[in-house]
Structure formats: C-alpha cells, structure tokens
Amino acid sequence: MNFTEISENLTTEFKREYTEDIKKTIIAFANTAGGTLYIGINDDKTITGIKTPDDTLLQVTNVIRSSIKPDLILFADCKTEKIGKDTIIVVTVQKGTACPYYLAGKGIRPEGVYVRQGASSVPASETAILNMIKETDGEKYEEVRSLNQDLTFNVTEDFFIKENIPFGSNQQKTLHFQTIDGVYTNLGLLLSDQSVHTVKLAIFEGQEKEIFKDRREFSGSLLKQLWDVYEYLDMHNRTYAHVEGLIRTDHRDYPDDALREALLNALVHRDYSFSSSILISIFEDRIEFVSVGGLPKGVSLDDVFLGVSVLRNEKLANVFYRLHLIEAYGTGVPKIMRSYNNCLKKPELQVSTNAFKITLPNRNINTHEVYNNNNLFIDDEKIILIMLEKKGEIARKDIEIALQISQAKAVRILRKLLDKGIIISTGEGKNMRYKKADNPKSFS
C-alpha cells in the first residue's frame, strides 16, 4: 500500500503508536461514516511500525470490547499488516447500527460521544447525540436511551419490594428500564430518583387564577410524585357532613376514585418528550389536571369516554399495572365519570393538539352556596333542590334521568320533600310538576 497517496480525512487517521485517544477515533468512526485507523504511521505518513504488534493488537481489541458501549465488536476488525520490515496495525470500523457509541466511563454525554469532523475526532453536541438516539431507537420516548446513565431507584425499589416483585438487573431489562446491553432507557429515567419531569400544583382563592393561596412542585421518580401529589390532594379534599337523626354521613368535595384516576391519567399518558410540567390547579369549585400531549393519533374524545385506550407510554403503563396502581387499560375515564353518577355537574374532558385537560367539579360547592350550609338533606335531595334552583320547576321524569333511579324511588324522594314542606306540586298525572315552596319549613 502506498501511504503517500493517502491523507488523513473523514474516514482515515494515522497514529504513531497506541494511545488512549485511539478509543475516541474508533467511536467517532462508528458514529459517523466508518473509517480506517493505522497504528504505526506518523502524521507525515512515514512508517515507524509497532515493536510489539501482538501485544498492541490485543490491547486494541480489549479496548473495543471493554471501553466502548454499546458493543462494537461486530463492526470493528483489527489485524496486523507487514510493510517491508515493519508491522503496523490496521483497525477498520464500520458505521454502527446502535449509535451513539460512547466511552463506557463517560456515558451518553458530549464528553463520552465523539464524531468525525474533517480529519479530527471531536465531542458530539447534545443535539447531535439526541438525533443519533432518535434515528436508532425510534420516536417512542420511553424506549430511547437516557442521556443520564447515573441513575438510582430508591423509591421505585421500595414500591417493588412492597408488592413482592424482584427488582434486579434482569427484571429491569424485562421491564425495559435497561436495554439488553445494560443501558438505561428514558423509562428508567422517568422512574429513577433523578427524573427531570415534575408536577406543579397551585391552590387559588375563589374561582379564577388571580390570588395564590399555595403552590408546590413535586419531583423525583414518577412513583414518588404519584404518592406525594395524591397525599397533598387528599389533605385538601374537604369533607361536608350531613346529619339526619343519629346518623352522620360525610361527603368529600371530590370522589377519591376521581382524584386518583385523574392523577394517574396525567402521569401515565402525558408526552414526556416535552419538558413542560403537569399542572394541577385547585379552585373553590373545581380541580383542573392539565398534561402535555394530546390524544394519540387515531383516537377521539368519544373513544376515551367509551374506554378505548391507545397507550402513548405502553411500558410505563405496564409498570403501573404490575404495581397494582392501575387495574386495566382504558378504565380510568369511565371510572371518573361513574364516581359523579349522582351529581348534576359532571367532569369535563378537553383536548388540544398538545394538551389534555380533566376538570373535576366540587360536588359540595353548590350545596354550600345555595343552601347556606344547611345540612338537612341527603345527596339525592340536594341534587333535586339544585335542579329546582336552576330550572324553576321539574317533572318526576327529570329526576329519574338525573339520578339514574327508578320511578318508585323518585316518587319516595319527592314525597319526603313534600312532607318537609320544601317543595310543592302543581298539575296532575303526567302534567305534574314540582317547584320550591315559597316559605320552606326547613330553611332558616
């Protein structure tokens, strides 16, 4: 081979002897367009040869095997070549199929990932690294290799221990926390103590975003965020007490199931390729959950109400399922709606191209406002009185539909309200209507 006709360029490099920088060159070739490294040749193309070629060859192959991740062995060929009396080492590297390749001790960071720039091997920019990952791993965020490989799982491991589920390296690979090569994925990042995504929560005075009463930001593993946020919501979920005779009945502002499912929906279904936080806003009359990422392609809002579930983060949902945090895919929204069966005001779902919003109404707010905190009525009676407040008069059929009850039960409830003097009836038979009494006996 006539080396005077060869110059160092994008795919060719000369090294006088083995040095640590050889690793960077091999990585750069694998990440760019492949190339050939000649060891035993000066930059000026004079041949110096290698004094102990077998030892140096072993050193190079060991470096490729142990110091470069992912495994590059199938894409690199090392051999000795005789040129006159001298022996050189030729390392031929193909462009790899698992870019970015990186120094095992540095990780998938600019100081660990190298690319070719002309005749030089230089650190890759973070944007270039992300583009390589996307080209190799595809578009699904949770399956992509994490830029941060220094991850710990203290909280997540505790969750697994409580459910008697093993959490070793093999299980992490099965659950896709790691790739087969032991590289952490973004799913691992989401459930690690180092997760970069957060939940922001604010409490407002009244019904508008004008005066803050409190604001919090929750971070760490998504499982820690789930636990911490739910505890905070539960603490602010007030109880409205109703006493009838010796019997006391408590009614919380928000159904526990609805709070839990709305929070799980936000965490499991959000689009984590965006950096924006999940936003939870608590008002006097409602709670709003806003998560980044609209509905997956091909799914409509009507589909969601029916329980259709197309998972954006399938592997994350699988972890939550294994930990018994979700019962079955697609049950969350129907469960939220069922928890408001006996309420006039129902939860609202809104979706845009890049966001999903669930609004849970405060079940007790209208009762507080309309009846001046009077605790004399059971839930069904409260709903009827609110209906009368809004409509003026109603028919028995309206009550059956609103409460989803039988004709006989509707008649019994109406008779009790008539006996209490709270409502009066007008008309007869099918034309009978009910409205509030002018001077209700039970009102102060």
Sign of CA dihedral 60, 65, 70, 75: positive
Across the range 114-133, mean pLDDT stands at 90
Tens-digit pLDDT profile for residues 81-123? 998 899 999 999 999 888 899 998 888 889 999 999 998 999 9
Q: Check whether 59 has a pLDDT greater than 80.
A: yes
Confidence of residue 44 (pLDDT cuts 50, 70, 90): confident
Q: What is the dihedral of CA 317, 318, 324, 325, to 10 degrees?
A: -10
Structure token digits, residue 110: 């600019």
Q: Check whether 368 has a pLDDT greater than 70.
A: no
Tens-digit pLDDT profile for residues 321-339? 999 998 766 678 888 988 8
Confidence of residue 242 (pLDDT cuts 50, 70, 90): low
Of the chain, the percentage scoring pLDDT greater than 90 comes to 45
Q: What is the pLDDT of residue 309?
A: 66
Q: Check whether 301 has a pLDDT greater than 80.
A: no
Tens-digit pLDDT profile for residues 140-175? 889 888 888 899 999 999 999 999 999 999 999 999
Structure token digits, residue 18: 């083995």
In order of their start, the domains of the chain are 3-137 (3.30.950.30), 141-190 (no CATH), 199-311+319-365 (3.30.565.60), 376-436 (1.10.10.10)
Q: What is the pLDDT of residue 249?
A: 63
Confidence of residue 370 (pLDDT cuts 50, 70, 90): very low
Give the Cα separation of 50 and 36 in Å (integer). 17
CB neighbours of 13 closer than 8 A, spacing ≥ 6? 25, 35, 36, 37, 38, 119, 121
The residues pairing with 359 across neighbouring beta strands, listed in sequence order, are 288, 348
Q: Check whether 436 has a pLDDT greater than 90.
A: no
CB neighbours of 321 closer than 8 A, spacing ≥ 6? 328, 329
Q: What is the pLDDT of residue 444?
A: 34
Question: Which residue shows structure tokens 């994925």?
Answer: 185
Q: Which of 198, 186, 66, 91 is nearest to 138 (CA)?
A: 186
Q: What is the pLDDT of residue 159?
A: 95
Give the Cα separation of 119 and 116 in Å (integer). 7
Cα angle 382, 383, 388 (rounded to 5 degrees) comes to 95
Tens-digit pLDDT profile for residues 408-418? 888 888 888 88
Q: Which helix (H) or strand (E) holds 215?
A: strand 212-218
Q: What is the pLDDT of residue 245?
A: 55
Confidence of residue 371 (pLDDT cuts 50, 70, 90): very low
Q: Is 103 helix (H, G, I), strand (E, B) or coil?
A: strand
Give the Cα separation of 202 and 210 in Å (integer). 11
Q: What backbone torsions phi and psi does residue 176 show, to the nearest 5 degrees? A: 75, 25
Q: What is the pLDDT of residue 2?
A: 61
Q: Check whether 375 has a pLDDT greater than 50.
A: no
Q: What backbone torsions phi and psi does residue 136 show, to the nearest 5 degrees? A: -85, -45
Tens-digit pLDDT profile for residues 254-297? 999 999 999 999 999 898 988 889 999 999 999 999 998 877 66
Q: What Å distances lie between residue 205 and 136, 282, 285, CA to CA?
A: 49, 9, 10
Q: What Å distances lie between residue 120 and 29, 58, 95, 136, 379, CA to CA?
A: 10, 25, 16, 24, 75
The sheet carrying 433-436 orders its strands as: 393-394, 433-436, 423-426
Q: What is the pLDDT of residue 330?
A: 66
